[in-house]
Structure 1
Amino acid sequence: MSPEQTSNSEHKQNARAEHGHDTETAPDQKPIKVSHAITVLLLIVGVMVVLGVIGILPREHAASALEDRTKELAAPSVITLAPKPGNPVEEVTLPGNVTSYSDSPIYARTSGYLTHWYYDIGAKVKQGALLAEIASPEVDQQLAQAEADLNTALANANNARIQADRYKGLVTDNAVSQQDTDTFVNQAASTSAQVKSAQANVQRLKELTSFEKVYAPFDGVITARRVDTGQLIDAGAGQTPSSELFHMQAVNTLRVYTNLPGVFSASVKRGETINLTFAEHPGQVFQGKLVRTADAIDPASRTLLVEVDVDNRKGNLLAGTLAEVHFKVNPVGNVFVLPVSVLIFRNEGLRVGTVTGDTAHLAPVTIGQDDGRTVQIITGLTAQDQVIQNPPDSLIDGEKVHVLTPQEMKAAEGAQKNGGI
């Protein structure tokens, strides 16, 4: 080996020794343990989780802040005012439902075909007037058969009675046995019962045939006719209004029902005269009589159901209309005067919006006099309530609101208008 080759070989060996690649030292290296690898992997996962949490928390905080901001912006802005005390109420005006004195659907009691009707809608009829006729040949045939069965039963009963009487006479002379006599006596009693059964069946069918003619049950007016000539009629009251023949109402006297607040229940008495007004008759006042009350306060509405009867023999009023019932009452409690714009009309009745803190509430109220601009609130408010002016129609009980002064509201409306421009 030349000196140069020897020098290169030593140089390579030195280099492998410096870099730890000496083949003689390789067997001394220790392998990496599994536990150390798992530890490293867990550390990596932990770091990733921490980094994820650090990224998620700010996003959740931002989403929560956005939700709170959205709810804050969604809350309507309102102006409140304190209720103004008013003069004691001496008259209460309440809405009243006008109904007929009697209201009855008329159904058929026998099945068949309508052969004729005699009165149409709007016709005034007297009690017992013939309204329509129904042809029911099946019932007629059943009646004829029942009458024939009755005649047969009468003949059998008469024969059994004669035989029983004959045997009763012969048994005293020992001409016949007591057993035969008892048999004929029992047979006479049985045939007599059959006669009564046949008579009852005949009477039933006669009543059914009498229902072929439909009569008016009371004096009144025909408000609906739902049948025509030739139509098939089913007996009895069906599940649909179309199964009724006519609809009648007694309208010579009308009933007006209204709910009087319980605080005024002691102010009304049976027999007193009550004034009524109707939108259909402006400027006219009709007088009715308070005939009865429920004699109990409704626990749900705290009102007393009152019935006022009004004479309608002239036919000026119509059932189904809405009346204003004027009650003279004794002054009770405090009265507040508010603009009409504070009233909220809901299906469950009149409401007024009030604010407690930043929460809106819908208070049920009873109104007194109403001059078109202001209204008297008889019940439902206190002097400490803050009433919402011009409440939004969408206001609900328990909703959060922003209470602003008139100046703040005007400034907000101006800013919104300029922003829209």
Structure 2
Amino acid sequence: MSFDDPAQGRRRRGRWLGWLVVVCLAAGAYWYFVARDAAPPSGAPAGAAGPFGMAGMRAMPVPVRLATAREETIRHTLRAIGTVTAFNTVVVRSRVGGELMRLHFQEGQWVQAGDLLAEIDPREFQAALDQARGQQQQNAAQLQSARQDLERYRLLFRQNSIARQQVEQQEALVKQLEGARASDQAAVDSAALQLSHTRITAPISGRVGLRKVDQGNIINAADADGIVTITQTQPISVEFTLPQAEAADVLAQLRAGRTLEVVLYDQNDVTELARGELMSVDNQIDVTTGTLRVKARFNNEDERLFPNQFVNVRLIVSQQQALAVPSAAVQVGSIGAFVYVVDDEQAVQIRRIVAGRVDGPLTAVHEGLQAGERVVVEGTDRLREGGRVDIVSVDGTELAPAPRAAAGGKGAGGARAQGAAPAGH
């Protein structure tokens, strides 16, 4: 006679109850996520889903903003940070020593080439010039007397009154005095030049800086600081560097004889400061940085550029017409670059494209789009293939909301999508 263990029976019933609970939960989940959405409510048209089910949520239009693909000018622009440099910088120094008598400029003043800047005590140099001129006159008188004697000796020699040797000696004396005359003239010119150096003039046109020496001081040609510095700011130049990978495109444009435009912006890269042109490039690449130094020229008529100023540089290498869309419309996924295209029925299509150069807010499209097609630029996070959209704006133009449909008709979003598109789209 055998008896079942009561504990073992309870374990069997517990396992069956556990499996029953699992099956019930699975059936409930299937009904909640699949069967409930698929089954239309009582009185609804066949195929309709509940408004709060997953299918109903997927069927709701997504509000989006659109832009139209159109032909635009796409520029190949290189960005860099540059330093403004004076076209010419001159340290004005004295070429003679003496007391600085007067200064004829104001600090920060604009001067023209040849303007008088300072004067040095000229008395010492005037005395040297007078002495040289006196010596010149003395030797000139001796030369004149020697030439007259030479003419007399030649006459007497023709009359056989004196020997040839005496005539030759007089000719040598005349030549000696003529050499002294040339030396005297050089001494006079040198003294006059030294005297002219006591008047210091501007060698170039530009703006003077702060003076380095005050009136009344003794200065000389060995002073390294000089009197003042002049910087030529009209025109002015900007130096910057380009990566060696971009050097080939720039050099190709220059060899073709094209003028490359350079645009400068402030340190915040917001306000445009000036427009100029690329002037020259260096003859070698810096091996430590792999960059090529270039220089651009600017007229700087308003003097907004100041020497040693840091600026943001945009070098426009080339520009061409191409089909373009806003860069915000271009998405990247496993299929590569793509955009969401909205057709005339306000349905979404995922369109793979071949994107080209990016020019600020625009991106060129080489393949995959046609001019006039509309792409989504805002609201892409909930879009799917074949989904419907509610158009909020097109090319920045806000659309007025359409009136809500009557009960039993289309939803407000569908009515807006159908009737809100502007003419021509």
TM-score, scaled to structure 2 = 0.54
2:96 partner letter: T
Q: Cα distance, 1:97 vs. partner?
A: 1.3
Provide the residue aligned with 2:117 in structure 1.
Answer: 131
Tell whether 2:307 aligns with 1:325: no
1:273 partner letter: E
Provide the residue aligned with 1:257 in structure 2.
Answer: 239
Tell whether 2:142 aligns with 1:160: no
Q: Cα distance, 1:188 vs. partner?
A: 0.3
Partners of 2:79 and 2:315 within 8 A in 1:
yes
Partners of 2:261 and 2:316 within 8 A in 1:
no
Moved more, 178-187 or 226-235: 226-235
Q: Cα distance, 1:370 vs. partner?
A: 11
Provide the residue aligned with 1:145 in structure 2.
Answer: 131
Q: Cα distance, 1:369 vs. partner?
A: 10
Question: 1:189, 1:288 → 2: CA distance?
Answer: 63
Question: 1:282, 1:176 → 2: CA distance?
Answer: 98
Tell whether 2:231 aligns with 1:245: no
Partners of 1:98 and 1:322 within 8 A in 2:
yes
Q: Cα distance, 1:280 vs. partner?
A: 7.4
2:241 partner letter: N
Alignment of 1:24-103 (within 5 A): 90-103=76-89
Alignment of 1:189-208 (within 5 A): 189-208=175-194
Q: Cα distance, 1:194 vs. partner?
A: 0.1
Unaligned runs of 5+ in 2: 1-74, 319-357, 362-425
For residue 266 of structure 1, the aligned residue among 227, 248, 263 is 248
Cα 1:254–1:170 change in 2 (3 A) is: same
2:281 partner letter: T
Question: 1:301, 1:152 → 2: CA distance?
Answer: 69
Match of 1:224, SS state, is coil
Partners of 1:98 and 1:257 within 8 A in 2:
yes
Question: 1:280, 1:321 → 2: CA distance?
Answer: 13
Partners of 2:244 and 2:290 within 8 A in 1:
yes
Aligned-pair identity in percent equals: 24
Provide the residue aligned with 2:299 in structure 1.
Answer: 311
Q: Cα distance, 1:281 vs. partner?
A: 8.1
Match of 2:280, SS state, is strand
For residue 287 of structure 1, the aligned residue among 266, 270, 275 is 275
Cα 1:329–1:220 change in 2 (3 A) is: closer
Q: Cα distance, 1:223 vs. partner?
A: 1.3
Cα 1:266–1:281 change in 2 (3 A) is: closer
Question: 1:216, 1:315 → 2: CA distance?
Answer: 20
Question: 2:118, 2:207 → 1: CA distance?
Answer: 15
Question: 1:143, 1:370 → 2: CA distance?
Answer: 69
Question: 1:323, 1:95 → 2: CA distance?
Answer: 6
Q: Cα distance, 1:121 vs. partner?
A: 1.7
Match of 1:201, SS state, is helix
Question: 1:194, 1:281 → 2: CA distance?
Answer: 70
Partners of 1:93 and 1:369 within 8 A in 2:
no
Match of 2:285, SS state, is strand
Count of aligned residue pairs for this structure pair: 243
Q: Cα distance, 1:298 vs. partner?
A: 3.1
Residue-by-residue CA offset, 1:131-173 (whole Å, 9 max, x unaligned)? 1111132222111111110001101111111111211111111
Question: 1:281, 1:296 → 2: CA distance?
Answer: 29
Residue-by-residue CA offset, 1:66-88 (whole Å, 9 max, x unaligned)? xxxxxxxxxxxxxxxxxxxxxxx
Match of 1:297, SS state, is coil
CA RMSD across the alignment: 2.5
Question: 1:193, 1:245 → 2: CA distance?
Answer: 40
TM-score, scaled to structure 1 = 0.54
Residue-by-residue CA offset, 1:118-138 (whole Å, 9 max, x unaligned)? 112210111111111111322
Question: 1:292, 1:228 → 2: CA distance?
Answer: 40
Provide the residue aligned with 1:275 in structure 2.
Answer: 263
Question: 2:359, 2:118 → 1: CA distance?
Answer: 50
1:311 partner letter: N
Question: 1:249, 1:320 → 2: CA distance?
Answer: 11
**Structure with the higher fraction of residues in helix conformation:** 1
Provide the residue aligned with 2:43 in structure 1.
Answer: none
Alignment of 1:10-29 (within 5 A): none
Question: 2:138, 2:116 → 1: CA distance?
Answer: 36
